[in-house]
Amino acid sequence: MCVMSRQVGCGQFVVMKNFSFLACLLLIASCSDDHPRDPRTTATDIPHVNITTANNASIDEEYVVGEVAIMEGTRTSFTGPMRIKVRGNSSAGYPKKPYRIKLDASSEVLGLAKNKDWVLLANFLDETLLTNAIALKTASLLDMPFTNHIIPVDVSINGVYAGSYNLTEQVETGKNRVDVEPNGQLLELDQYFDETWQFRSAQFDLPVMIHYPKLTSETQLQPIQNQFDILTALMADPSFPENNYLDYIDQQSIINFFVVMLMTDNEELNHPKSIFLYKPAGGKYHLGPVWDFDWGFGFERDFTHFSTHSYPLFWSPVNNFSGGSFFSRFLEDPHLKAELLQTWSTFKTTKLPLLLEYVDDYSKRIASSYKRDYVRWKSQQGDRSPELNAEYIKNWLVNRAAFIDIYLDDLP
């Protein structure tokens, strides 16, 4: 039975057509031995992160000191001193808080490369607890550099169960993170515009925040702004795309970025919000790493995830939004659009089956945690079981893929 709540455009035809398509995709996935399953997503239990703050201090937007211990079954796999604070913008205002942890010493955590900085994503808005995991798996299947890993964990704070979380890396520069040091750049496009060093681009009025390098004066900011304005000037120029703009931004990173945004219906690029770019020293800008999909998968419009699969990526009129006017410009390049179509076709044929398999694996992995989280918060989750969530999401992804075919074919 179809689990879609409503159909748009060629709705019923697409849904009925895709039941056989879904079956074929799952058959392909089950026969593939080229991508062994990650054992962390197929086990039946998940690690437990126990946080204890000094004097049981409450955690807010300023760091407090404490200890963190991680249990894997009956084994303590990590313990150490740390500082912790609430992180995020709008997500910081929800009852279930996301956190940033800064360890006293750089350490390997749950198999992830050594670092001091870690994030616990709360996924409070996500009634399935799967959105960020699916999005970052999509990026990983595209081999996007510096893609974050998602490790599902249960969290307790000062002995009180806090819910089911994602442990992941902080988006930052460094050897085991976005590796552009020294002399590279890590920028973020975000309408919150709340970093110390920032500027608005001369064209498109994009809000650009500087995460790296660490600046100390306005004179250091100006060359970064000048470089970025060269790219946006070429993008806005009437000669686009016949003006060598791709000398300044990596083509494959653009294409992969669009595949992820389309597959996840992440319309936050219209604002824009949480859009990162990195630039190696002497190199081109690259879109990525991708981040923050709480408002993807239809939530931006429906305030629920995985309902309608057929929303276009850009809002209308596109020029009313700085991110929309900038990013939609790429799709006016016939060469880039042709390459995007080819990459999308390959992804749909060879990678989408693996993504569907991952949904099953991850949903089983967090099943008990999901139920515990619902008991704790009773916030966004409905009465669907983890198993029904997985079927619901897989149908949405397959229908979304069919919609993307039509969407890309219809581009002018």
For each of the chain's 412 residues, which pLDDT tens digit applies? 333 333 333 333 333 334 344 545 544 444 444 433 333 333 348 999 999 999 999 999 999 999 999 999 999 999 999 999 999 888 888 999 999 999 999 999 999 999 999 999 999 999 999 999 999 999 999 999 999 999 999 999 999 999 999 999 999 999 999 999 999 999 999 999 999 999 999 999 999 999 999 999 999 999 999 999 999 999 999 999 999 999 999 999 999 999 999 999 999 999 999 999 999 999 999 999 999 999 999 999 999 999 999 999 999 999 999 999 999 999 999 999 999 999 999 999 999 999 999 999 999 999 999 999 988 987 655 667 889 999 999 999 999 999 999 999 999 8
| 192 SS3 class | coil
* Residue of 274, 37, 41, 301 lying closest to 152 (CA atoms): 41
Q: Is residue 330 part of a domain?
A: no
Q: Is residue 93 part of a domain?
A: yes
Q: Is residue 73 part of a domain?
A: yes
Query: Can you list the positions of beta strands (E) in 190-237?
Result: 198-200, 207-212
Give the tokens for residue 233: 């000037």
Sheet holding 286-287, edge to edge: 198-200, 207-212, 185-189, 275-279, 286-287
Residues paired with residue 186 on neighbouring β-strands, in sequence order: 212, 278
Q: Is residue 355 part of a domain?
A: no
Which helix or strand (DSSP H or E) is residue 380 part of? none
- Provide the b/e sequence for 118-153 (b: ≥16 CB within 10 Å): bbbbbbbbbbbbbbbbbbbbbbbbbebebbbbbbbb
Do residues 260 and 266 touch, judged by C-beta distance below 8 A?
Answer: yes
Q: Is residue 204 part of a domain?
A: no
Site of tokens 């890993």: 149
pTM: 0.89
The alpha carbon torsion through 353, 359, 361, 366 (nearest 10 deg) reads 170
Q: Is residue 56 part of a domain?
A: yes
Residues paired with residue 199 on neighbouring β-strands, in sequence order: 208
Q: Is residue 360 part of a domain?
A: no
Distance CA 275, CA 63 (A): 25
pLDDT digits (tens, 9 = 90+) for 58-94: 999 999 999 999 999 999 999 999 999 999 888 888 9
DSSP output for 252-296: HHHHHHHHHHHHHT-GGGGTT-SEEEEE-TTS-BEE------TTT
Residue 400 has a CB neighbour count (10 Å cut-off) of 25
Do strands 151-157 and 48-53 pair parallel, antiparallel, or not at all (unpaired)? parallel
Q: Is residue 258 part of a domain?
A: no
- Expressed as residue numbers, the domain containing 102 is 45-169
Number of domains the chain contains: 1
